[in-house]
A and B are shown apart, each in its own frame.
Chain A
Amino acid sequence: MNHAAPPLDPVKLREDFPILSVRVGADPARGDEGVPLVYLDNAATTQRPRSVIQSLVNVYEQSYSNVHRGAHWLSGLSTAGYNAAREKVQEFVNAAHFEEIIFTRGTTEAINLVARSWGDRFCQAGDEIVLTELEHHANLVPWQQLAERVGVKLRTIPIDDRCQLDLEQFDKLLSPRTKLVSFTATSNVTGTITPVVEIIARARRVGAVTLVDAAQSAPHLPTDVRAWGADFVALSGHKMLGPSGIGALYGRRELLASMPPFLGGGGMIDRVWADHFTPGDLPYRFEAGTPAIAPAVGLGAAIDYLNYVGLDAIHAHEQLLTARAHELLADIPGVKIWGPPLEHKAGIVGFTLDGVHPNDIAEVLDQDGIAVRAGHHCAMPLHQRLGVEFTVRASFYFYNTLAEVEQFAKTVAHAQRLFRKR
């Protein structure tokens, strides 16, 4: 990723995102024009380019019907569009086979699918599942639930003082009892980029299955399930320009084929009798009920747009923004950035300001039109490890500009002065 990608032009790309021109707090009745939106909450959800929005409209206006079932022309068209989107996801994550891509509502559902289907079938009391201290609740709670159901033991790879995984400790956790290593590729709080290939290689040495939570990495860095050697990879559409309510699970074909269905219902069966059923083929076996047809097509359009901008250029631009944010925040007394050195970090800046509640900082930023998130970011154990209840998080994307980062830092400095005397 260090080779030079041609720089992208955020100002030009922003024109493709209608929502980025809304004015925050505008109230025409009072003659209040509001202030420009500075959207720095991309780790929660990105915004959508016009092409993605239009793809949804196109589906509903021109090709919408239920998929797989109908014998009619429109259903054929809808099914083709839905499966074309699956092919785009397949290519995006470099999966070998079409049937290795399961559409889900997002990363959370994808991980729950694995925990329920693979976990219940293959895990038993005494087995161990290795997670990390960086995990989002979506890659933590499903395993805690599995532990309650079948008695697996959860082990955790700790982070060091630079918010990076301690791989020596990881080696000590690995044993023949390790059934699964499930970890995030990029932390949603600290922005830590984890050594995916290295972790998977070590996990495989003890025969463990691996799951990568790619929700925060897929929008910014290449996802390559084959180069990674991953068994499962989960991602969310809404974090990568796509609609909300759609995501995907990649599963290695042999593994998926050995797993029982997750949800039961229409679309996932081969035959059904009054007292039993036989499951259908992959990938449909894991897609019970009418799927999110238009959002899946929208996710395909999002992938097209990402390919057009280029992940290399995106990452290079985010590095630039993040470096600037670090540089400016470092000048503000009392600011502490929670995360690794820049070279190991995505475009996420989690920070606290001495003596000031993170919500109060977010509030002052909001008054300036700057959208960030304050809270535990669905990673309470990580915050417990860091020793803070909440953090403020600014998260960047390719449509953010250096000027926006500078405005953000200026407002944080202002908040620091405002709250300091109290």
Chain B
Amino acid sequence: MKTMTVDELTREFDDCADKEERLTLILELGDELEPLGDEHKVEVNRVRGCTSNVWMIPEVSAAAPGKLRFRADSDSQIVRGLIAILLSLVNERTPEEIAALDLEGVFNRLELARYISRSRSNGLSSMVQRVRDIAQHCQSAS
């Protein structure tokens, strides 16, 4: 999956004419997400607080040691799209960079809350929390 800058993401969303196109965009982003193998879809990797199943695993970046790379998957196609957005923002960054990211600010700019239901927003918050917890854990461990 390609990494996108906030500006690129915002532009893609701004280019959508209506809710329908935004949903299609979210689904297309999800299509590019690399699926997790079944061996990773286990309880320990499950993100609690999502109404659909979400599994997330952190890895150290192969390209740049010290940077993190998350992989995640869901049984919901819309959630896969949200995961793709989140991961494009946090992947290939150091724990410190992740901690400093204003992810909620980006989601606000994309006006995600207008296009996804509240329970989905809550699920997204749970994923963000998981990413931050892992980043913080890496910071305190290093």
Contact = CB atoms under 8 A, between A and B. Distances in A.
A360 B78 contact: yes
Contacts, number: 41
B136 interface: no
A419 B114 contact: no
A357 B114 contact: no
Interface residues on A, range: 10 to 19
B38 interface: no
Interface string A329-361: 000000000000000000000000000110110
A280 interface: no
Given A375-B51, A418-B23, A360 B114 contact: no
A366 B51 contact: no
Given A418-B27, A422-B27, A363 B78 contact: yes
B23 A364 contact: yes
B52 interface: yes
A375 B123 CA distance: 15
Given A27-B114, A422-B31, A360 B76 contact: yes
Contacts of B30: 422
Interface string B12-43: 00000001100110010011000000000000
A422 B117 contact: no
A150 to B, nearest CB: 32
A354 to B, nearest CB: 13
Contacts of A291: none
Interface in B45-88: 51-52, 75-79
Most B Cβ at <10 Å: residue of A27, A356, A359, A362: A359
B23 A357 contact: no
Nearest to B117: A366
A169 interface: no
Interface string A127-148: 0000000000000000000000
Contacts of B120: 359, 363
B23 A359 contact: no
B116 interface: yes
B31 A357 contact: no
A335 to B, nearest CB: 17
A49 B117 CA distance: 26
Given A367-B19, A418-B24, A357 B117 contact: no
Contacts of A367: 19-20, 23, 115
Contacts of B77: 356-357, 360, 419, 422
Given A363-B116, A363-B117, A366-B117, A357 B76 contact: yes
Contacts of A357: 52, 75-79
A364 B77 CA distance: 12
A283 interface: no
A10 interface: no
A151 interface: no
A73 B114 CA distance: 52
Contacts of B51: 359, 375
Contacts of B79: 357, 359
Nearest to A366: B117
A25 B114 contact: yes
B33 to A, nearest CB: 11
Interface in A370-421: 375, 418-419
Contacts of A364: 23
A120 to B, nearest CB: 34
Contacts of B20: 367
Contacts of B78: 357, 359-360, 363
Nearest to B28: A422
Nearest to A414: B20
A410 to B, nearest CB: 14
A359 B52 contact: yes
Most B Cβ at <10 Å: residue of A356, A357, A364, A375: A357
Contacts of B76: 357, 359-360
A419 to B, nearest CB: 6
Nearest to B116: A363
Contacts of B75: 357
Contacts of B31: 422
Interface of A: 25, 27, 356-357, 359-360, 362-364, 366-367, 375, 418-419, 422
Closest 4 CB pairs of A and B: A357-B76, A359-B52, A360-B78, A359-B76
Given A363-B120, A366-B117, 9 more contacts: A356-B77, A357-B77, A359-B76, A359-B120, A364-B23, A367-B19, A418-B24, A422-B30, A422-B31
27 contacts: A25-B114, A27-B114, A356-B77, A357-B52, A357-B75, A357-B76, A357-B77, A357-B78, A359-B51, A359-B119, A360-B77, A362-B117, A363-B23, A363-B116, A363-B117, A366-B117, A367-B19, A367-B20, A375-B51, A418-B23, A418-B27, A419-B27, A419-B77, A422-B27, A422-B30, A422-B31, A422-B77
